[in-house]
A = this chain, B = another copy of it.
């Protein structure tokens, strides 16, 4: 299964994007790790290193970063 990571911060835009992605990804063969950066600040460096500039964002297995709408600037999270 392809491995992707969905970063979010519990914001309304994040919740909405998460819902929609669940609709898509739940019907596909993706293994999605959900990371709440507000609750897991230790994951911030990895997210920034992956190229995440804002959340919600989905980091694909190939390294692509899909910023989905705009919830929170990642630098506002720490």
Residues on A close to B: CB < 8 A? 2, 16-17, 19-20, 23-25, 27-30, 60, 62, 64-70
Contacts and interface: CB of A to CB of B under 8 A. Distances in A.
Contacts of A19: 64
7 contacts: A20-B60, A23-B62, A24-B25, A28-B28, A28-B29, A67-B68, A67-B70
A66 B67 contact: no
Contact of A66 (B28, B64, B69): B69
A20 B69 contact: no
A65 to B, nearest CB: 8
A60 B24 CA distance: 9
Nearest to A61: B23
Contacts of A25: 24, 28
